[in-house]
Amino acid sequence: MRGVVMYAPGDVRVEDRPEPAILKPTDAIIRLSATCICGSDLWPYRGADKVEEPMPMGHEYAGIVEEVGSGVTSVKPGQFVVGSFFASDNTCEICRTGYQTSCVNREMLGTSGAAQSQRMRVPLADGTLVATPEVPDADLVPDFLAASDVLGTGWFAAVAAQVGPGKTVAVVGDGAVGLLGVMAAQQLGAERIIAMSRHEPRQKLALEFGATDIVTERGDAGVEQIKALTNGLGAHSVIEAVGTQESMHQAIGSTKPGGHVGYVGVTHDVTLNGDELFFSHVHLHGGPAPVRQYLPDLIDRIWNRKIRPGRVFDLELPLDDAAAGYQAMDTRQAIKVLLRP
């Protein structure tokens, strides 16, 4: 089968790779209906993460179950399924509290099975995969694919930031996660949603997803703008969807005392100043989003066409053209690239 492998920063190839196989009774094999390139794939692509050996890529997936191990009971061949980027047993004490990405038996997809390929192995299939009511219409496939990571991650950020009715929400980051954080905030009933973006196509999508205000300034100037819009105090809830020193500083500074920051940008060389955090009086919560917790709800909203998160895919390419997809995202020509295996 064909699959994407990163050899070095900037060097992405599509190759013939071994077919995945059931290794444990709890595994499933799925045939990808669609996969995509993640903002976090750009860290090694740009050299910010090391590429020590050729890395099979991809951890976002939606597709048809082809085969299941003897211990799998909740999904079966022929079903259309969505899963998260961490496989989880969904039964341990940590999973039961909704933190499946910290499951005591978790396995990172990409390591266990790379998703930018025609087929993949999913470990812990019963705990990881959620089936749709029936095989969906083709136009819904990008929406379900978005649920696998970026929608679920934006949703977790909104929940971690305690978004709810009557709240003012600020969103730091205009990538797919930030944009879907806007969508989550709208769905969770926020009164006002301030998207921070200076890119016109992303501003448009943010407004379409429910943003009520756009702030183009960044850093301390961005914080000042948020305060100017919030009676000098800051937003109740701030979604951080970048993961840099500047974005965390911007998120904490934009939050009112007693407010909540939900951070989901994969942190890169970030250190938080203890004094700044102490006197900010904010609540801070985040980390790898436990997408699995939200999948049943998100699948329901998509199945009933209440939300169309697949709108973040503004470029679609055949899997074999993955290298062009990486380049388009790296140069911000595309928000998010969908690959058809």
In the complex, which residues of this chain contact its own copies (CB under 8 A)? 93-94, 97-99, 101-102, 104, 231-233, 243, 248, 256-258, 263, 266-275, 277-288
Closest CB to its own copies among residues 141, 266: 266
Q: How far is the CB of 41 from its own copies (least distance, A)?
A: 18
Nearer to its own copies, 27 or 240 (CB): 240
From CA 150, how far away is CA 219, in angstroms rounded? 24
297: left (phi over 0), alpha (psi -120 to 50) or beta: alpha
Give the span between the Cα atoms of 245 and 310, in whole angstroms: 29
Supply 183's token pair. 């969508």
- C-beta closer to its own copies: residue 222 or 265: 265
- Closest approach, Cβ 156 to its own copies, in A, equals 11
Angstrom CA distances, 303 to 290, 299, 309, stand at 21, 6, 12
CB of 42 to its own copies, least distance (A): 17
Which CB atom, from 65 or from 95, has the smaller least distance to its own copies?
95
* Of 41 and 240, CB closest to its own copies: 240
The backbone torsions φ and ψ at residue 61, rounded to the nearest 5 degrees and listed phi first, read -155, 150
Structure tokens at 242: 């970048």
C-beta of 187 vs 267, nearer to its own copies: 267
**Min. distance of Cβ 275 from its own copies in angstroms?**
5
- Contact 189/165 with Cβ under 8 angstroms? yes
CB atoms within 10 A of CB 267: 18
Longest Cα–Cα distance in the chain: 60
Task: Kindly state the smallest distance separating residue 172's Cβ from its own copies, in Å.
Answer: 15
Q: Which amino acid is at 117?
A: S
Q: How far is the CB of 270 from its own copies (least distance, A)?
A: 3
Alpha-carbon dihedral sign for residues 218, 221, 227, 228: negative
For its own copies, give the closer residue by CB, 179 or 252.
252
SS3 call for 12: strand
Cβ 118 to its own copies shortest distance, Å? 31
Question: Do the beta carbons of residue 11 and residue 53 sit within 8 Å?
Answer: no
